[in-house]
């Protein structure tokens, strides 16, 4: 957290724009299209600079009673320039849009890949809704920047620079008027830009917070309704979006003031230029009305360019903000993962697990010690149960086993080797977890089972479903394996979801199986089916079972009793029952009397 703050402060400084340029590495693969787009942009911008000059000449040739063919020739050249400009702009947009789409899809993929590989501790401190909305809002901002803002920026710079050169050649005296205004506008643009950027970042933050509420309440709609908290949530959401709107409106004041100031400058300059120009013509210092026409149109071009540059500048500021957010995510260190196919023979697990003097606290709460010098071992193919009061640290042990976190002290070893010597995915690929709260994806039953082994054949999936006692209910659905399970599996019962999770684990065929309260939410009949499936699943593998209800762990080869982060008892069911005043004995007496 602290290093994040430091990074943030640094990035707000001079390095920011440089950092933003780092995004260009995503554009690099498409540099040919990008260059063609740029050339077309240059061509259309430069050609637009000829228009005022040609228009001036056209006016002059009419005034000086030239021959009609000459006037028409000038007219046709103008039309040709316009058509050429139109064609260049058309293809420029197409090339830029192509580059943008490809760049953003690779950036999106890159961010997704990175995000999904970030360690659990990253997600402990972030809310999913906020991350989600941040990323999508930031990416659409960048989309706008890549397709329009950058092109506008360059086009306006060319018009500004070219326009000035041409103004100077037309009338140096008049140009002086324009130049006087420029420094004022630049200073004002800088100051306003800073404010606008501050406000737009704050507004983006509020919108992200509002989206978090939206996402969380939709995900937890059942709870919202059950607690009749609709009005509470409406107010909570309303508060955030009102805050966003207020900040947006405040920034609107700055934008409005800025824009009207610019308009004043521009139109003021036009009036001054025409005024002065007329005086110059009268005194013979300026050649013709045509020259004044060119001058005025160049001035308008320049004025337009300055206004647009100001808008473009504030857009660029916004996208710098968006880039900062995205880069911050990309800079988070990710876990090192390897492709599933690549489990080397020396990394294949046999199933012996040893916990040696493990101490642990969660990164988000470093002052609360959760596991305190824990040691125990699980032989290969043994069933070991973890029991103990709520909050004792059972689920934390599972998280450490899966290497969601590393112990603060001590080591977990697999077949005698420190877990940290294995790549993350190699370990996790050889374990399967069945939790009480099964998470199913909102697709078909088949897809959900196959999640245990992507690319599994239909036979393998059906075999897994049979082993998990799930085949019968699946067959009873009119659409069988293709039955959609609804968002997070809401269209299935708890027991059915559980058995799908077991089928997943069967398909994965892990060396180590972890069951966390897997049967506690079920009725007797469902529990029997699930327990039966679990018994089959546990055969021939190392199993770690967390259970509150001791009836389910009587048969375990070993029971480890945890209390307040310590291992307090260890032994078989019968051994532990003989411990006078023991926690297990007490729990057992309580449960069996009930
Ligand atoms: N992500 C987390 N961040 C900070 N503290 C946590 C986190 N998860 C759990 N804890 C804390 O760690 C302690 C142990 O929690 P754990 O979930 O391991 O207990 P448990 O024995 O599995 O409990 P239960 O039987 O209720 O599931 C608790 O005090 C809990 O508040």
Of the residues 298, 331, 364, the one at which a domain ends:
331
Q: Read off the pLDDT of residues 292-322 as tens digits, 9 standing for 90 and up.
A: 888 888 877 887 887 788 778 878 877 787 8
Closest residue CA from atom 17 of ligand 1: 395
Q: Which of 11-15, 523-527, 537-541, 567-571 has the lowest mean pLDDT?
A: 11-15
**How far, in Å, from the CA of 361 to the mean position of ligand 1?**
10
Q: Give the position, in ligand 1's atom list, of the atom nearest the Cα of 120.
A: 1
Q: 539 exposed, middle or buried (CB, 10 Å; 0-12, 13-18, 19+)?
A: exposed
Average pLDDT over every residue of 365-388: 90
**How far, in Å, from the CA of 316 to the mean position of ligand 1?**
45
Pocket test for ligand 1, best of 391, 397, 436, 437 (most atoms within 8 A of CB): 391
Asked, for residue 581, whether it belongs to a domain, the answer is yes
Q: β-strand 417-418 against 371-378: which pairing, if any?
A: unpaired
Q: Among candidates 376, 436, 423, 406, which has minimal Cα distance to 568?
A: 376
Report the range out of 238-247, 338-347, 483-492, 520-529 with the highest average pLDDT: 238-247
> So what's the pLDDT on residue 167?
81
> What is the ipTM, given to two decimal places?
0.95
Asked, for residue 165, whether it belongs to a domain, the answer is yes
Q: Give the position, in ligand 1's atom list, of the atom nearest the Cα of 386.
A: 21
Residue 411: φ, ψ to 5°: -150, 150
User: Which residues fall within 8 angstroms of residue 284, CB to CB, at 6 or more apart?
Assistant: none
Starting at the edge strand that comes first in sequence, how are the strands of the sheet with 417-418 ordered? 371-378, 353-360, 409-414, 417-418
User: Residue 290 — left, alpha, or beta (φ > 0 → left; ψ -120 to 50 → alpha)?
Assistant: alpha
Cα–Cα distance, 161 to 154 (Å, whole number): 11
Q: Which of 10-19, 144-153, 359-368 has the lowest mean pLDDT?
A: 10-19
Cα–Cα distance, 52 to 85 (Å, whole number): 14
Whether 217 and 224 have beta carbons less than 8 Å apart is answered as: yes
> So what's the pLDDT on residue 14?
43
> So what's the pLDDT on residue 356?
93
Residue 339 has pLDDT above 80, yes or no: no
**Any atom of ligand 1 within 6 Å of the Cβ of 365:** yes
Query: 228 with 294, same domain?
Result: yes
Average pLDDT over every residue of 377-401: 90
Of the residues 272, 304, 331, the one at which a domain ends:
331
**Mean confidence (pLDDT) of the chain:** 82
SS3 content of the chain, % helix, strand, coil (to 5): 70, 10, 20
| SS3 state at 222 | helix
> So what's the pLDDT on residue 341?
65
**How far, in Å, from the CA of 103 to the mean position of ligand 1?**
42
> So what's the pLDDT on residue 361?
93
Q: Which of 55-69, 393-407, 577-591 has the lowest mean pLDDT?
A: 55-69
Q: Read off the pLDDT of residues 100-158 as tens digits, 9 standing for 90 and up.
A: 888 888 888 888 888 888 888 888 777 777 788 778 888 888 887 777 788 888 888 88
Residue 418: φ, ψ to 5°: -55, 135
Query: Which single residue is written with the structure tokens 């005086």?
Result: 279
**Using CA of residue 497, residue 500, residue 504, residue 506, what is the dihedral sign?**
positive
Cα–Cα distance, 133 to 150 (Å, whole number): 24
**Any atom of ligand 1 within 6 Å of the Cβ of 160:** no
**How far, in Å, from the CA of 363 to the mean position of ligand 1?**
13
Cα–Cα distance, 496 to 500 (Å, whole number): 6
Q: Among candidates 428, 176, 159, 406, which has minimal Cα distance to 307?
A: 159
Query: 356 with 213, same domain?
Result: no
Query: 468 with 540, same domain?
Result: yes
Asked, for residue 9, whether it belongs to a domain, the answer is no
Closest residue CA from atom 8 of ligand 1: 396
Report the range out of 51-60, 191-200, 262-271, 370-379 with the highest average pLDDT: 370-379
Cα–Cα distance, 309 to 149 (Å, whole number): 9
Q: Where are the beta strands (DSSP E) in 480-554?
A: 512-516, 542-546
Query: 423 with 519, same domain?
Result: yes
Of the residues 269, 302, 331, the one at which a domain ends:
331
> So what's the pLDDT on residue 13?
42
Query: 326 with 402, same domain?
Result: no
Q: 406 exposed, middle or buried (CB, 10 Å; 0-12, 13-18, 19+)?
A: middle
Q: β-strand 542-546 against 371-378: which pairing, if any?
A: unpaired
- Residue 266 or 417, more confident: 417
Residue 399 has pLDDT above 50, yes or no: yes
Q: CA 49, 50, 55: angle at the middle one, nearest 5?
A: 115
Residue 449 tokens, joined:
């089972």
Q: Read off the pLDDT of residues 268-288 as tens digits, 9 standing for 90 and up.
A: 767 877 887 788 888 887 778
Asked, for residue 291, whether it belongs to a domain, the answer is yes
> So what's the pLDDT on residue 519?
64
Q: Among candidates 176, 196, 185, 151, which has minimal Cα distance to 39?
A: 151
> So what's the pLDDT on residue 49?
85
Query: 215 with 361, same domain?
Result: no
**How would you write 62-115 as a 3-class SS string?**
HHCCCCHHHHHHHHHHHHHHHHHHHHHHHHHHHHHHHHHHHHHHHHHHHHHHHH
Starting at the edge strand that comes first in sequence, how are the strands of the sheet with 558-563 ordered? 431-435, 512-516, 542-546, 383-387, 558-563, 566-571
Q: Among candidates 396, 394, 417, 392, which has minimal Cα distance to 406?
A: 396
Average pLDDT over every residue of 470-483: 87
> So what's the pLDDT on residue 55?
85
Q: How many domains does the chain have?
A: 2
CATH of the domain at 585: 3.40.50.300
Cα–Cα distance, 107 to 26 (Å, whole number): 7
Closest residue CA from atom 30 of ligand 1: 391
**Any atom of ligand 1 within 6 Å of the Cβ of 393:** yes
Average pLDDT over every residue of 69-82: 86
- Residue 430 or 127, more confident: 430
Residue 143 tokens, joined:
């989309």
CA dist list (Å): 129 to 103, 213, 225, 529:
25, 7, 20, 37
| SS3 state at 282 | helix
- C-beta atoms surrounding 310 within 10 Å: 23
Asked, for residue 491, whether it belongs to a domain, the answer is yes
Pocket test for ligand 1, best of 127, 371, 387, 393 (most atoms within 8 A of CB): 393
Query: 174 with 88, same domain?
Result: yes
Asked, for residue 582, whether it belongs to a domain, the answer is yes
CATH of the domain at 314: 1.20.1560.10
Q: 363 exposed, middle or buried (CB, 10 Å; 0-12, 13-18, 19+)?
A: middle
Cα–Cα distance, 42 to 36 (Å, whole number): 10
Query: 130 with 263, same domain?
Result: yes
Pocket test for ligand 1, best of 392, 400, 547, 562 (most atoms within 8 A of CB): 392
Helix axes 494-508 and 458-467, enclosed angle (nearest 10): 120
Average pLDDT over every residue of 353-382: 90
Q: If you write DSSP's letter for every residue of 151-219 in order, what string do you get?
A: HHHHHHHHHHHHHHHHHHHH-HHHHHHHHHHHHHHHHHHHHHHHHHHHHHHHHHHHHHHHHHHHHHHHH
Average pLDDT over every residue of 45-71: 80
Average pLDDT over every residue of 475-500: 82
Query: 103 with 239, same domain?
Result: yes
Asked, for residue 338, whether it belongs to a domain, the answer is no
Cα–Cα distance, 230 to 220 (Å, whole number): 11
Residue 475 tokens, joined:
């067959």
Query: How far from the centroid of its chain's Cα atoms is residue 563's Cα?
Result: 39
Query: 161 with 269, same domain?
Result: yes
Residue 415 has pLDDT above 80, yes or no: yes
**How far, in Å, from the CA of 393 to the mean position of ligand 1?**
6
Whether 384 and 378 have beta carbons less than 8 Å apart is answered as: yes
> So what's the pLDDT on residue 401?
92
> So what's the pLDDT on residue 177?
67
Query: 138 with 27, same domain?
Result: yes
Average pLDDT over every residue of 580-588: 84
User: Which residues fall within 8 angstroms of residue 464, CB to CB, at 6 or more apart?
Assistant: 449, 452, 456, 503, 504, 506, 507
Confidence bin at 4 (pLDDT 50/70/90): very low
Domain that holds residue 77: 17-331
Asked, for residue 7, whether it belongs to a domain, the answer is no
Query: 397 with 278, same domain?
Result: no
Whether 11 and 327 have beta carbons less than 8 Å apart is answered as: yes
Tally of helices (H runs) and strands (E runs) in the chain: 20, 10
Helix (H) or strand (E) holding 410: strand 409-414
């Amino acid at each position: 957290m602290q290093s994040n703050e430091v990074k943030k402060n640094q990035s707000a400084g001079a390095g920011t724009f440089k950092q933003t340029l780092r995004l260009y590495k995503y554009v690099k693969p498409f540099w040919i299209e990008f260059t063609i787009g740029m050339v077309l942009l240059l061509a259309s911008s430069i050609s637009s600079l000829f228009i005022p000059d040609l228009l001036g000449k056209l006016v002059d040739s009419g005034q000086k009673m030239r021959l009609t063919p000459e006037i028409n020739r000038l007219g046709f050249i103008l039309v040709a320039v316009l058509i050429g400009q139109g064609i260049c702009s058309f293809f420029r947009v197409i090339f830029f849009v192509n580059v943008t789409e490809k760049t953003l899809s690779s950036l999106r993929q890159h961010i997704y890949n990175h995000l999904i590989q970030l360690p659990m501790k990253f997600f402990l401190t972030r809310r999913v809704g906020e991350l989600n909305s941040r990323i999508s809002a930031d990416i659409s901002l960048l989309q706008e920047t890549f397709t329009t803002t950058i092109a506008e920026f360059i086009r306006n710079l060319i018009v500004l620079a070219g326009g000035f050169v041409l103004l100077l050649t037309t009338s140096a005296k008049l140009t002086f008027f324009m130049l006087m205004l420029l420094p004022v506008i630049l200073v004002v643009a800088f100051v306003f830009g800073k404010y606008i950027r501050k406000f737009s970042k704050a507004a983006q933050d509020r919108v992200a917070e509002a989206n978090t509420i939206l996402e969380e309440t939709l995900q937890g709609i059942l709870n919202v309704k059950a607690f009749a908290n609709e009005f509470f949530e409406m107010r909570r959401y309303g508060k955030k979006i009102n805050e966003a709107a207020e900040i947006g409106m405040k920034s609107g004041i700055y934008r409005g003031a800025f824009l009207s100031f610019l308009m004043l400058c521009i139109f003021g300059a036009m009036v001054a230029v025409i005024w002065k120009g007329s005086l110059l013509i009268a005194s013979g210092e300026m050649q013709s009305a045509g020259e004044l026409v060119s001058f005025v149109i160049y001035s308008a071009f320049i004025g337009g360019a300055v206004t647009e540059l100001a808008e473009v500048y504030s857009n660029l500021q916004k996208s710098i903000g968006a880039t900062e957010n995205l880069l911050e995510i990309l800079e988070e260190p990710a876990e090192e993962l390897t492709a599933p196919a690549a489990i080397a023979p020396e990394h294949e697990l046999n199933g012996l697990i040893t916990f040696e003097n493990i101490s642990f606290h969660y990164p988000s709460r470093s002052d609360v010690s959760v596991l305190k010098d824990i040691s125990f071992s699980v032989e290969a193919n043994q069933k070991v149960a973890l029991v103990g009061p709520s909050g004792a640290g059972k689920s934390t042990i599972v998280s450490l086993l899966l290497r969601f976190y590393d112990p603060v002290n001590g080591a977990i070893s697999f077949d005698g080797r420190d877990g940290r010597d294995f790549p993350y995915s190699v370990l996790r690929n050889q374990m399967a977890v069945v939790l009480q709260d099964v998470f199913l994806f909102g697709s078909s039953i088949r897809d959900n089972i196959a999640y245990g082994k992507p690319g599994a054949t239909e036979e393998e999936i059906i075999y897994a479903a049979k082993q998990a006692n799930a085949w019968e209910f699946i067959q009873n659905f009119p659409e069988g394996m293709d039955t959609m399970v609804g968002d997070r599996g809401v269209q299935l019962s708890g027991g059915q979801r559980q058995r799908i999770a077991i089928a997943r684990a069967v398909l994965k065929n892990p060396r180590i199986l972890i069951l966390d309260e897997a049967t506690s939410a079920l009725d007797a009949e469902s529990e029997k089916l699930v327990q039966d499936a679990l018994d089959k699943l546990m055969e021939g593998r190392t199993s770690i079972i967390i259970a509150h209800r001791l009836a389910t762990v009587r048969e375990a080869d070993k029971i480890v009793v945890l209390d307040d982060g310590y291992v307090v008892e260890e032994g078989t069911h019968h051994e532990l029952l003989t411990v006078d005043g023991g926690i297990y004995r007490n729990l057992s007496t309580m449960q069996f009397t009930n």
